[in-house]
């Protein structure tokens, strides 16, 4: 009995198509909760919770992103975080803003006056030193915004300090509790959509390759489509 190469080829194709199907099924099941994202534009800007990370209309463009894993947002809620440092108009990270520091000086002056009135000498000393430091930097910048690339020494120091000092404020927690379920549903949908599309591409690609290869072989071998063997030639009576 002759070997049926085409049947063997079909079985090999099905086996090859099963590989991306199994990988896709595993990836669809193995889904981790979405990262909770925050962004900031400058040192005094503070951190803002991104309650719509999948928006196609106003996505956050980050000059640098730092990640925190297994961060406890509150008791019983642990997630990975993405901390986005947004760029200025020149595409750089702002690590000193004269406008913000001037406003900070005004707040320090009020706090200093209150500390003097309360007789808190230690608070007065700390606030006075902070005000002096800000004035010296403001005098040196005249009054230009200071920014740089993500690998500049000043930027690296600013980013490192901002990440190490990151905390969840009560306002952030309220926003997270309100928006996180919707964000995680959208993240799961995006994950499943991407996984299914990639699985379909791979399975479709294997099937198309097999079909084209079979079509070429059939042409050389003279085997009609839908048949596995060349038709027997009937003998013509002499």
Per residue in 151-171, pLDDT (tens digit) is: 889 899 999 999 999 999 999
pLDDT at site 192: 92
Mean pLDDT of 10-15: 91
Pick 34 or 41 by higher pLDDT. 41
Could you give the CA distance from residue 16 to residue 23 in angstroms, rounded to a whole number? Answer: 12
Pick 6 or 173 by higher pLDDT. 173
Mean pLDDT of 194-210: 94
180 lies in the same domain as 218: yes
Tell whether 180 is covered by a domain.
yes
Residue 24 in contact with residue 199, Cβ under 8 Å?
yes
215 lies in the same domain as 190: yes
pLDDT at site 89: 84
Domain range spanning residue 120? 98-144
125 lies in the same domain as 78: no
Could you give the CA distance from residue 51 to residue 113 in angstroms, rounded to a whole number? Answer: 38
Lowest model confidence (mean pLDDT) among 11-20, 39-48, 141-150: 141-150
45 lies in the same domain as 82: yes
Which residues have a Cβ under 8 Å from the Cβ of 47 and sit 6 or more positions away?
A: 38, 39, 40, 83, 166, 169, 172
Residue 34 in contact with residue 91, Cβ under 8 Å?
no
Which residues have a Cβ under 8 Å from the Cβ of 96 and sit 6 or more positions away?
A: 43, 137, 141, 145, 146
9 lies in the same domain as 127: no
Tell whether 25 is covered by a domain.
yes
Mean pLDDT of 199-209: 94
Tell whether 195 is covered by a domain.
yes
List the structure tokens of 153: 């020494």
Tell whether 93 is covered by a domain.
no
Does residue 129 surpass a pLDDT of 50? yes
Give the residue from 106, 131, 164 where a domain finishes. 164
Q: Which of 101, 162, 94, 95 is nearest to 134 (CA)?
A: 101
What is the total count of domains within the chain?
A: 3
pLDDT at site 60: 65
80 lies in the same domain as 158: yes
76 lies in the same domain as 191: no
156 lies in the same domain as 115: no
Q: What is the four-CA torsion angle of 52, 55, 57, 62, rounded to 10 degrees?
A: 80
List the structure tokens of 24: 């896709």
């Amino acid at each position: 009995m002759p070997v049926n190469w085409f049947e063997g080829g079909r079985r090999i194709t099905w086996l090859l198509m099963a590989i991306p199907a199994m990988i896709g099924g595993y990836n669809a099941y193995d889904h981790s909760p979405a990262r909770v994202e925050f962004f900031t534009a400058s040192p005094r800007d503070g951190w803002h919770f991104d309650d719509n990370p999948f928006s196609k209309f106003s996505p956050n463009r980050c000059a640098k992103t730092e990640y925190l894993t297994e961060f406890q947002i509150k008791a019983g809620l642990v997630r990975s975080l993405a901390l986005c440092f947004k760029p200025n108009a020149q595409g750089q990270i702002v690590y000193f803003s004269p406008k913000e520091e001037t406003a900070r000086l005004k707040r320090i002056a009020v706090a200093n006056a209150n500390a003097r009135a309360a007789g808190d000498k230690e608070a007065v000393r700390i606030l006075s030193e902070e005000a002096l430091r800000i004035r010296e930097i403001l005098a040196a910048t005249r009054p230009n915004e200071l920014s740089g690339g993500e690998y500049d020494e000043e930027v690296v120091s600013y980013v490192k300090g901002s990440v190490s000092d990151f905390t969840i404020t009560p306002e952030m927690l309220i926003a997270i509790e309100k928006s996180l379920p919707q964000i995680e549903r959208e993240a799961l949908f995006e994950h499943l959509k991407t996984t299914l599309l990639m699985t379909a591409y791979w399975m479709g690609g294997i099937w198309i390759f097999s079909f084209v290869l079979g079509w070429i072989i059939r042409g050389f071998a003279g085997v009609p489509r839908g048949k596995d063997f060349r038709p027997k030639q009937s003998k013509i009576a002499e």
